[in-house]
Every structure is written in C-alpha cells, then in structure tokens.
Amino acid sequence: MVDSHAHLFFDGIYQDLDNILKSAKQSGVNYILTVSTDSKTIPLNISIAENHDNVCCSVGVHPHHFIDGYDLEELIILSKKTKVVAVGEIGLDYHYQDQTPKSDQIHLFRAMLSIATQCNLPYIIHSRECFDDIFCILSEYKIPSSVFHCYTDSVENAKKILDLGHFISFSGVITFKKSIDLLDVVRYVPDDRFLIETDCPYLAPVPHRGKPNEPAFVNLVAECIAEVRKTSVAHISKITTNNFFNLFQKAKFLWKEKYDAV
C-alpha cells in the first residue's frame, strides 16, 4: 500500500519519524511520498527521502507560501535529485484570499508548472475553490499528468479532471460524516485513476479524527473506499499501488525490484 501524500518534515512527525515509519510498515504501508510545501523545508524533505529506502519526495511551493519566496533555478536543480519524483504541492487556494492574492498564486502556479515541464515530472495539485482557473491554466500546458490531492469537490469536476487525463486522490476526509456527497465521487472514479493518501499530520480519518495523522492510517482510507465500492481492501491496495507507480514513473524506477514483486 502507498501513502501518496504525506508531510514527514512537519513538526510532530519529523521528531518521531522512526516510530512513525515503523508503524506504517507494520500496517502494510510499503511506500510513502513526502510532499513539499515551501522552499525552506525542501532540503529537509529531500534528506528524509534520501535516508529512508521506502520514502520518495516532491519539490514545490504551496500557493500560501508565495510570500516566503523561492529560487526557480534552484528548485529545478533540486527537482533533478534521485529521490524527487514529482513537483508539488502546487496549485491555487482561494478560500483564504487574505493570505496570498489570486494574482500571486497564479504567478507561482505557472512557475511551478514550468519546473514540471523542464524536468518532465508529474505534479501534485492543491485546489480549493478555484477549479475554473486551475482548468484554464492546465489547458495551456503540455506536461505530464497530475494528481488532484485530497479531493473534496463534485462528481462534475471529477469528470473534468479525468477527461484531462489526471488522477484523483482521496484522504481521510471521506470517512467524515459530512462527506456523504464525496462518496459519490468515490463510486464514480474508475479503478485506474485514483490514489489514496493521509495528508498527514492533517485530516486524520475516523476514528482518529482530531488527532495527528500518520501514514499508517491510510489503511482506514482504503477500508472506507472498499466498503463504498463493495470490494476488498486488498483490491484497493493493489490498484492504488499500481496507479501510484503509473503516475510517478520515477518512483517505479527507484523501486523496480519491489514493484515487480507486487
């Protein structure tokens, strides 16, 4: 099983990383993608991946970290490191417009997409209350497929994402009582187009809601999806692992021997 979106460098996770990774392995989580959010912590995130065989990472700047600055050329160099398999998380978030103006977010998003283009890497999309702008911008770029992480939107927008050739990732949000409508998306997305994630340390699934999240809990996301789609957890584990490697080809190369055994 793969946790396709975690933040292992965040406070509370990094300080207990060995135990958290051990717990993940005991829960059958064999691979973890630790996703960057800002320039300052990217070197730490890369270091985590380089020092743990079952962890890979991404390089990118979250829309709310525009104010922290970034060096585009340096990010391109870092994106070429062996354990970096994606650009992310990047995108737009109009929910908190007072944090970063739309114009700055769009400028940053385009800059991050240029990295994906130059490095031929898939990218990880953070999208909140901004779908029209996201779709408009993505239509301008001929770059690898992406994954819309922690998807919480409608079936209609899910269809648009799939039609563009991208993937959708489900998090612990699908276990929340308020997420009844989101389960329609869980039923709708075909087997070969979705991933599972924790987004740890955020969004811990039920029954851990309100507590720090960790990669081991991605099992609970898989269990919820299996119940909704009326299949087995083993099936969800297998197809989402395959989908992860189909999207993140560099990770497939890194873990070729292990992947071939799946």
- What pLDDT is recorded for position 99? 76
Express each pLDDT in 60-77 by its tens digit.
999 999 888 899 999 999
92 contacts 105 by C-beta, under 8 angstroms: yes
- What pLDDT is recorded for position 261? 47
Express each pLDDT in 161-210 by its tens digit.
999 999 999 999 999 999 999 999 999 999 999 999 999 999 999 999 99
206 contacts 220 by C-beta, under 8 angstroms: yes
Q: What gap in Å lies between CA 66 and CA 44, rounded to an integer?
A: 19
* Token reading at 169: 């990732």
Tell me whether residue 247 is in a domain. Answer: yes
Mean pLDDT of the chain: 94
Whether residue 240 has pLDDT greater than 60 = yes
Structural domain containing residue 14? 2-129+146-260
* Token reading at 168: 């959708």
Structurally, the chain folds into a number of domains equal to 1
Tell me whether residue 69 is in a domain. Answer: yes
Whether residue 262 has pLDDT greater than 60 = no
- Segment 115-131 shows an average pLDDT of 94
Tell me whether residue 49 is in a domain. Answer: yes
Which region among 102-116, 138-152, 168-182, 241-255 has the lowest average model confidence (pLDDT)?
A: 138-152
With bands split at pLDDT 50, 70 and 90, how would you rate the model's confidence at 250?
very high
With bands split at pLDDT 50, 70 and 90, how would you rate the model's confidence at 140?
confident
Tell me whether residue 138 is in a domain. Answer: no
Express each pLDDT in 207-228 by its tens digit.
999 999 999 999 999 999 999 9
Tell me whether residue 135 is in a domain. Answer: no
CATH number at residue 81: 3.20.20.140
Tell me whether residue 137 is in a domain. Answer: no
**pTM of this structure:** 0.95
Tell me whether residue 140 is in a domain. Answer: no
Q: Mention every residue, 6+ apart, whose C-beta is less than 8 A from residue 231.
A: none
Tell me whether residue 151 is in a domain. Answer: yes
